Every structure is written in C-alpha cells, then in structure tokens.
Amino acid sequence: MTPTDTHARRRRMTGRFHRYVANPFMRPMSRYLPGAAVLETIGRKSGLPRQTPIGGRIEGGSFWLVSDHGRRSQYVRNIEADPRVRVRIGRRWRTGIAHLMPDDDPKERLRRLPRANGLIVRLLGTELLTVRVDLE
C-alpha cells in the first residue's frame, strides 16, 4: 500500500469518525471546553450554514486553527469558496474572514494551540494546514 493510499484510507476513516461521532458530541460541548470552538462556513454547493467543531486560540485579534486534512477538509473547501465565517467561542459568535496560511508551519502552530486538540490533529491528520480567521 502506497503512502497516498494510506492517507486516503485514513482520511475516509477519520472523516466518518468526525461526522458521526466527534462532531455531534463536540458541537454542543464546545461551549464548555477551553480551546474548543465551532466554525460556521457557508456550504459551497448548498449555500447553507455548516458548523464544524474545531480547536484553536485567539492571538492578536485573530483566531488560529490547524486543519487536519488541509485543503481536503470540507470546511476548508467552503472557506476557499467564501472566506466569510463565524466562530463560536464559548457562548459568543464572532464574524470574521478566514485565510488559508500554507506558508505557516502547522506543527509549530499546534505547539501554541490547546494541547488536547493538537494531539488529536497530529494523530489523525494527513495534510496539516494553518487557518487564520481575522475577527471583526
């Protein structure tokens, strides 16, 4: 099995895990867990709001996160189509503009983000990509 096949298989497995187990649990729990948030994008095909639990941190007026599957993540594809997003941190929604940061070192970025999320992203991730949301 080639590394590409392994990454594709891991992406499918973790995608199912996130969709059916982690996301339904984390969406409501993110209000209470430090470092947890919900990213709301607009679906690039449906035009409907899509909410994805994420981990990250506010630094200097921006919310930083690392996508575990990079440009293959559905929310990253939605950001590419429309970078206007909302982020729920605790109980408060904030609007912003998301930027993909391919030149940022995602492994170094994970060291500065919440540890639990960073561990999961490192374990399950196949193509790490930093995302910065400039909050309004």
Beta-bridged to residue 99, according to DSSP, are 132
Q: CB of 52 within 8 A of CB of 75?
A: yes
Pair type for strands 84-89 and 36-42: antiparallel
Per-residue confidence (pLDDT) for residue 123, from 0 to 100: 65
End-to-end CA separation in angstroms for the chain: 46
Question: Which amino acid does the sequence have at 36?
Answer: A
CA distance 22 to 16: 9
Q: CB of 81 within 8 A of CB of 2?
A: no
Per-residue confidence (pLDDT) for residue 27, from 0 to 100: 61
pTM score, whole prediction: 0.81
The residue ranges of the chain whose pLDDT is under 50 are none
Q: Where are the beta strands (DSSP E) in the chain?
A: 36-42, 49-59, 62-67, 84-89, 92-101, 129-135
Per-residue CA distances from 82 to 15, 52, 73 (Å): 22, 15, 14
Q: Is 39 exposed, middle or buried (0-12, 13-18, 19+ CB in 10 A)?
A: buried
Question: Which amino acid does the sequence have at 124?
Answer: L
Q: CATH number for the 3-135 domain, one of 3.40.50.1370, 3.40.190.170, 2.30.110.10, 3.10.180.10?
A: 2.30.110.10
CA distance 23 to 111: 23
Per-residue confidence (pLDDT) for residue 124, from 0 to 100: 67
